[in-house]
C-alpha cells in the first residue's frame, strides 16, 4: 500500500493548485484524476480570473504565461435597450480582471508539477474513499493499466467537481444541500475569429441573454441562453450566428465577427451549496462543494479561494499539529461562497429572460439594469463583487 499525506481526488484547478501549494510547504500529496491529461488540458470552461486569483498564481510562480498571454480588462459592458452601458471596473474599484482560459491554468499547473516531479496520476478508475472518520483515511482505485491500488493518507481532499465521488461518500444526514435550478442553460461556442469588441459584453435581450467574451486576439468565446433541456443538435452553426447577431444587435454600428466554430456545448445552470464542506478527514473544495451559474464568472475563482484556505489549514494540522484552521475550514470558505452565490444569482436573474416571468417581473428587471448602469453606487457594488473581494 502506498502512503501520502494528502490524497487529492481530481486534477481540475482546485486539485492541482492545492497539490502545488502543499508541496511548496513540504507536504506530500498525490493527485488522482479520472480523465486523461489531454482531456483535462482541452476542456473549455472558465475564462475570467479575479484579481485575487491572478495575484495568488503569480505569488507561487505559475503566473508567467498568464502575465504574457492573459488579457487584462478594465471594464465590461452591460448591453440592453439596444446600447452599451460600461461598468468601469478599474475606475470604480482600482482593480482589473484577467481573461485567461481555465484550461491554460490547468496546463500551467500540470507543467509545474511535471517540472518539480510532483505526482499526478491520470486515467484512474473505481475511486473509492474509506475510513473518513479516522486519522488514516484511505483511497482505493485502479491505475491507468487497471491494476488495483491503495493510498493511505492523513487527509483526503475531494476536488472532483460536482459529479465526483467525494461528496456522495459522506454518510447520509451529515451534509445539507441548498440548491436552485434555473429554467435555462448556456450554449457556449469557441470561434476562430477575432473578438468583435475589446471588452466582454453581457447582453439582456427580449430573445434571451447573450455573452461576448474571448480567449485571445484571434479567438472569440460566445454564449447564448437556451432552454434548460436544449439539445446541441438543434443548433447548427448558422442558427448560432444568426441568434447571436439578433441578440447582440445595437442601435449603432456593432457587427459580430463570424468564423469557424471550434467547440460547442450546452451547460445547464444551477446554484448549489453543500454544508459543511468537511466530514472527518475529508475536505471538499471547488465544484465538489458548490456550484454557481456562470453569469458572475465565479466558479473557478471560488475553487482557488477554497484551496488557499485549505492549504493553510493543512499546514497547521499536518506540520504543527494545530487543528483550529481545519476545524473552521468550512465556515471560513462558506462566507465567500455565499457571497458569490448571491452575486451569481443576482447577475443571472438580472440578465436572463425567465420563460415563466410576467410583464411586472420584466419591468423590474429593466429597472434594475437601468439603475445599475446609471448609479455609481450600484455599479461599484457590482464591480467590487466582479473583480473579487479580497481573501480573508
Minimum CB distance to ligand RFL smaller for 136 or for 163: 163
CA distances from 157 to 106, 108, 221 (A): 18, 21, 32
Q: What binding mask, one character per residue, do residues 175-204 give for ligand PHB by CB under 6 A, x or -?
A: -------------------------x----
Residue 295: name its binding partner from ligand PHB, ligand RFL, none (Cβ under 5 to 8 Å by kind).
ligand PHB
Residue 286: name its binding partner from ligand RFL, ligand PHB, none (Cβ under 5 to 8 Å by kind).
ligand RFL
Enclosing H/E stretch for 347: helix 329-351
Instruction: Look up residue 301 and give its three cell numbers.
Output: 475563482
- Is 23 annotated in the active site? no
| Residue from 14, 48, 248, 300 binding ligand PHB (CB under 6 A) | 48
- Count of residues near ligand PHB by CB under 6 A: 9
Catalytic position from the list 23, 204, 290, 298: 298
C-beta neighbour count of 177 within 10 angstroms: 10
Residue 186: name its binding partner from ligand PHB, ligand RFL, none (Cβ under 5 to 8 Å by kind).
ligand RFL
Closest-CA residue to 32 (of 11, 47, 16): 11
- Is 107 annotated in the active site? no
Residue 379: name its binding partner from ligand RFL, ligand PHB, none (Cβ under 5 to 8 Å by kind).
none
Q: Is the dihedral of CA 129, 31, 63, 222 positive or negative?
A: negative
CA distances from 284 to 14, 157, 159, 336 (A): 10, 6, 6, 15
Instruction: Look up residue 250 and give its three cell numbers.
Output: 445595437
Catalytic position from the list 100, 202, 279, 329: 202
CA distances from 41 to 18, 45, 332 (A): 17, 11, 30
Tell me the Ramachandran region of residue 42: left when phi exceeds 0, alpha when psi lies from -120 to 50, beta otherwise: alpha
Minimum CB distance to ligand PHB smaller for 46 or for 159: 46
- Is 260 annotated in the active site? no
- Is 298 annotated in the active site? yes
Residue 248: name its binding partner from ligand PHB, ligand RFL, none (Cβ under 5 to 8 Å by kind).
none
Q: Is residue 295 within the footprint of ligand PHB (CB under 6 A)?
A: yes
Catalytic position from the list 23, 51, 73, 113: 73
Q: What binding mask, one character per residue, do residues 93-132 give for ligand PHB by CB under 6 A, x or -?
A: ----------------------------------------
CA distances from 114 to 15, 20, 97, 108 (A): 15, 11, 28, 10
| Residue from 77, 93, 103, 213 binding ligand PHB (CB under 6 A) | 213
Residue 266: name its binding partner from ligand PHB, ligand RFL, none (Cβ under 5 to 8 Å by kind).
none
Question: To the nearest 5 percent, what fractions of the chain are helix, strand and coil?
Answer: 40, 25, 35
Closest-CA residue to 310 (of 342, 278, 340, 279): 278
Residue 56: name its binding partner from ligand RFL, ligand PHB, none (Cβ under 5 to 8 Å by kind).
none
- Running DSSP on this structure, what letter comes out for residue 101? -
What is the contact surface with ligand RFL in residues (CB under 6 A)? 9-15, 32-35, 40, 45-48, 102, 124, 127, 159-161, 164-165, 186, 188, 267, 286-287, 294, 297-301, 303
Closest-CA residue to 302 (of 332, 324, 264, 322): 332
Distant-in-sequence, close-in-space partners of 79: CB < 8 Å, separation ≥ 6: 85, 201, 202, 203, 204, 205, 248, 250
Q: Is residue 297 within the footprint of ligand PHB (CB under 6 A)?
A: yes
Q: Is residue 278 within the footprint of ligand PHB (CB under 6 A)?
A: no
Q: Is residue 47 within the footprint of ligand PHB (CB under 6 A)?
A: yes
- Is 100 annotated in the active site? no
* Residues taking part in catalysis: 73, 202, 294, 298, 386
- Could you list the residues that contact ligand PHB (CB under 6 A)? 46-48, 200, 213, 221, 294-295, 297
Amino acid at each position: 500500500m502506498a502512503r501520502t499525506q494528502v490524497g487529492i481526488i481530481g486534477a481540475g484547478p482546485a486539485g492541482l493548485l492545492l497539490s502545488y501549494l502543499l508541496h511548496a510547504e513540504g507536504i506530500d500529496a498525490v493527485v488522482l484524476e479520472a480523465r486523461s491529461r489531454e482531456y483535462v488540458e482541452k476542456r473549455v470552461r472558465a475564462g475570467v480570473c479575479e484579481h485575487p486569483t491572478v495575484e495568488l498564481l503569480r505569488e507561487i510562480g505559475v503566473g508567467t504565461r498568464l502575465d504574457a498571454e492573459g488579457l487584462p480588462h478594465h471594464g465590461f459592458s452591460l448591453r440592453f435597450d439596444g446600447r452599451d452601458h460600461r461598468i468601469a471596473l478599474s475606475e470604480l474599484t482600482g482593480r482589473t480582471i484577467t481573461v485567461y482560459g481555465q484550461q491554460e491554468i490547468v496546463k500551467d499547473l500540470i507543467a509545474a508539477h511535471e517540472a518539480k516531479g510532483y505526482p499526478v496520476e491520470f486515467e484512474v478508475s473505481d475511486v473509492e474513499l474509506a475510513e473518513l472518520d479516522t486519522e488514516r483515511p484511505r483511497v482505493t482505485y485502479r491505475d491507468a493499466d487497471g491494476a488495483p491500488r491503495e493510498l493511505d493518507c492523513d487527509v483526503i481532499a475531494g476536488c472532483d467537481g460536482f459529479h465526483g465521488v467525494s461528496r456522495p461518500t459522506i454518510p447520509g444526514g451529515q451534509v445539507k444541500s441548498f440548491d436552485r435550478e434555473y429554467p435555462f442553460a448556456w450554449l457556449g461556442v469557441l470561434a476562430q475569429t477575432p473578438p468583435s469588441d475589446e471588452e466582454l459584453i453581457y447582453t439582456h435581450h427580449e430573445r434571451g441573454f447573450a455573452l461576448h467574451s474571448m480567449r485571445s486576439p484571434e479567438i472569440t468565446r460566445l454564449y447564448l441562453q437556451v432552454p434548460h433541456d436544449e439539445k446541441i443538435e438543434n443548433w447548427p452553426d448558422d442558427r448560432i450566428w444568426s441568434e447571436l447577431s439578433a441578440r447582440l444587435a445595437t442601435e449603432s454600428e456593432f457587427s459580430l465577427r463570424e468564423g469557424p466554430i471550434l467547440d460547442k456545448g450546452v451547460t445547464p445552470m444551477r446554484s448549489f451549496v453543500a454544508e459543511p464542506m468537511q466530514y472527518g478527514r475529508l475536505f471538499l473544495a471547488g465544484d465538489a462543494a458548490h456550484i454557481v451559474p456562470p453569469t458572475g464568472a465565479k466558479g473557478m475563482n471560488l475553487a482557488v479561494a477554497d484551496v488557499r484556505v485549505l492549504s493553510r489549514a493543512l499546514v497547521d494540522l499536518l506540520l504543527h499539529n494545530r487543528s483550529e484552521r481545519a476545524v473552521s475550514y468550512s465556515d471560513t470558505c462558506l462566507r465567500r461562497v455565499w457571497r458569490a452565490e448571491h452575486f451569481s444569482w443576482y447577475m443571472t436573474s438580472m440578465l436572463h429572460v425567465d420563460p415563466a416571468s410576467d410583464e411586472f417581473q420584466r419591468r423590474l428587471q429593466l429597472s434594475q439594469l437601468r439603475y445599475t448602469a446609471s448609479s455609481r453606487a450600484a455599479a461599484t457594488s457590482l464591480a467590487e463583487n466582479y473583480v473579487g473581494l479580497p481573501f480573508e
